[in-house]
Structure 1
Amino acid sequence: MTGNGGGYWRRLVRRLTSDVTELDADDLSRRVEAVGACRAVDCRSGEEATVLGRLRSVEHCPRDAVATLEAELYDGTEGVTLVWLGRRRIPGIEPGRTIKARGRIAVRDGRKVLYNPYYELQTTNS
């Protein structure tokens, strides 16, 4: 088969032979591009960035005198830790939710971090 037919069969075989995690990562990566966000793997320390991904974990972390709420956002390429200082809970920030977050990328303990990011909760269709 020539033209688009070959691409269709290639995608179909990939979907049938790939695991769910890999397919989910591909879906997240496509959504990142569709909304004009940066892929986490391309974000650099000190740069302003908008990222979109699914929250893998959310936890309250009491550190010294300041409580923090930390969430791991995964966009299909890499994770970014979102940190809200002085917060114990934020309605809607829960594992499994897809959000778009914006802020300046920092690096803490070798991991990319956004401190007190602006964020938008995404609907399942967006």
Structure 2
Amino acid sequence: MAAEGYLRRLTRRLTEHPEQRDAEELRDEAATTGAQRAIDCQRGQEVTVVGTLRSVECKGKGCADGVRAELFDGTDTIALVWLGQRRIPGIESGRTLRVHGRLGKLDNGAKAIYNPHYEIQR
């Protein structure tokens, strides 16, 4: 009976898409830290989210608009925007962060946290 369950899990792991597997792992990791799921966060709330940076870029001429990063926690993405910054040491694609701040929106309606407090997890 236990071997049958193991075989079923192994088969699922081998056949599922890697992005789906990564998203599941991120969701599980965020849940164990006590952070909120990005998909459940609403505009105006103070939120704490744990996720991985998918991209980091400097926006605008001479980075006048600051550094913008995309944080993915396995459920949804949140844009992180540090206004007036050209570069932030340690903020790079692939890093896992725990961020805290008030959730807002970008001009295109996407979720965003401006000038979030952050901790680099790994």
TM-score over 0.5 for the pair: yes
User: Which structure carries more strand by proportion?
Assistant: 1
**Aligned match for 2:9, one of 2, 8, 11:** 11
**Structure 2: runs of 5+ lacking an equivalent:** none
Matched-pair identity in %: 50
**2:95 is the counterpart of 1:97:** yes
Aligned equivalent of 2:118: 119
Q: Distance in 2 between matches of 1:104 and 1:53?
A: 16
Q: For structure 1, which runs of at least 5 residues remain unmatched after alignment?
A: none
Number of residues paired by the alignment?
Answer: 120
Query: Cα gap change, 1:13/1:70 in structure 2, threshold over 3 Å: closer, same or farther?
Result: same
Q: Which has the higher helix share?
A: 2
Segments ≥4 residues shifted beyond 3 Å = 4-10
Deviation at 1:5, TM superposition (A): 5.7
Q: AA paired with 1:34?
A: T
User: What residue in structure 2 maps to residue 40 of structure 1?
Assistant: 38
User: TM-score scaled to structure 1, two decimals?
Assistant: 0.88
1:51 is paired with a residue of what secondary structure? strand
User: 1:63-74, aligned counterparts within 5 Å?
Assistant: 66-74=64-72
TM-score (norm 2): 0.90
1:7–1:107: structure 2 CA closer, same or farther, 3 Å change rule? Answer: farther
Residue in structure 1 matched with residue 74 of structure 2 by the alignment: 76
- Secondary structure of the corresponding residue to residue 33 of structure 1: helix
**CA-atom RMSD, angstroms?**
1.7
C-alpha distance in 2 between matches for 1:110 and 1:7: 43
